[in-house]
Amino acid sequence: MTAANARNMTEEPGILRLSHVNVRVPDLELALAYYTEVVGLVETTRTPNRTYLKGWDEHQHHSLILSQEATYGLNALGFKVMSEAELDRLAARLAEAGIETSRHHPGELYQGSGLIVRFRAPSGHVVDLEWGMAQVGNGLPLINPPPAPDGLKGMHPPRLDHVFLLCEDVDGITDFFQDVLEFRLTEKIVADDGHLLTSFLERTHTAHDIAFLTGPDGGFHHVAYWTDEWSDLRHAADTCAYHGVPIDAGPTRHGATRGCGLYFFDPAGNRNELYTGGYWFDPDDEPTVWTEAEMGRAIFSYTGQVNQRFMTVHS
């Protein structure tokens, strides 16, 4: 057991969960229509070149930032930190690991943003550690609320769940997230030569908040939003079919994480997932190991095979 895992058995400082992703879209109006009408996210703020959205049950200002740019892909991902003191502590850990950081005041990088420590991870991804994002509420009263607000559209997921990324050195980035950022390894797919093909890491006691697959540095596979039930995936697939949204895979079940998901694409080509299921992971649990021969079943439990389009990625 690593020192970070032993420490987290008695307290939960540092990173609380995945906070936000910033993705590129060439046509901001088309992307906004898709994410509000089809996915059913809630728009909170709009600027000339950016739109900010969130799941309906998220209290913070945003979990998705759409940035109008010529290409599609991932600009940055962010994690919510429990306090300013913890943000300072993690910044010091990054400095000790030789990672250069920049510090940004509230509102400096994004509308509604809090205090952010930004760095580029060894995987090539830009990562924000954030404390104090503006809170806008979930549309429900705090006294005697109904189960959900009226007027929800499309798939209407309540919250952001995880992000799936690619890099050349999965072993190295897995060690970095464990040893520096204090994540816990829940599952891994191991190649025949002993190196990691895929790793799943968490801070929320779920099966994963972030995962890495072998591929190009800075690669982006998908961002996933949580839904409460398997039947919601059927509704999401119906929604995709109605609106002519290409379905990449599913509804299906994963061997790794034991979750269920539906994969589809936004108009720019960014892959989305609607995800549910999984399991609770305690800090002293041992990670589940998948062999290279069973990688297909780890990804898609029912078929045991991964289609070629699903392995297509972008940076």
Rounded-to-integer distance, Cα 169 and Cα 13, Å: 27
Q: Is 130 in contact with 60 (CB distance < 8 Å)?
A: no
From the candidates 61, 263, 275, 314, give the one annotated as an active-site residue: 263
Question: Which CATH superfamily is 159-311 part of?
Answer: 2,3-Dihydroxybiphenyl 1,2-Dioxygenase, domain 1 (3.10.180.10)
Active site residue 72: no
Among residues 61, 162, 221, 314, which one is catalytic?
162
127 pLDDT band, cuts 50/70/90, is very high
Selecting among 62, 221, 254, 314, the annotated active-site residue is: 254
Buried/exposed 259-268: b ≥16 CB within 10 Å, e otherwise: bbbbbbbbbb
Report the amino acid identity of residue 257: T
Answer yes or no: 254 catalytic.
yes
| pLDDT number for residue 8 | 43
Q: Is the pLDDT of residue 315 over 70?
A: no
Same-fold call for 3-131 versus 159-311: yes
pLDDT for res 306? 73
| Alpha carbons 241 and 244: distance in angstroms, whole number | 5
Q: Are strands 64-68 and 15-25 parallel, antiparallel or unpaired?
A: parallel
Quote the CA–CA distance of 172 and 165 in Å, as a whole number: 14
Which listed residue (58, 130, 187, 273) is catalytic? 273
Q: Where are the domains of the chain?
A: 3-131, 159-311
The residue length of the chain stands at: 315
User: What pLDDT does residue 13 have?
Assistant: 82
Which one from 130, 222, 275, 314 is the annotated catalytic residue?
A: 222
Percent of the chain surpassing pLDDT 70: 93
Range 102-128 average pLDDT: 97
CATH of 3-131, one of 3.10.180.10, 3.30.70.420, 3.50.50.60, 3.20.20.190: 3.10.180.10
Give yes or no for residue 169 having a pLDDT over 70.
yes
Is residue 263 annotated as part of the catalytic site, yes or no? yes
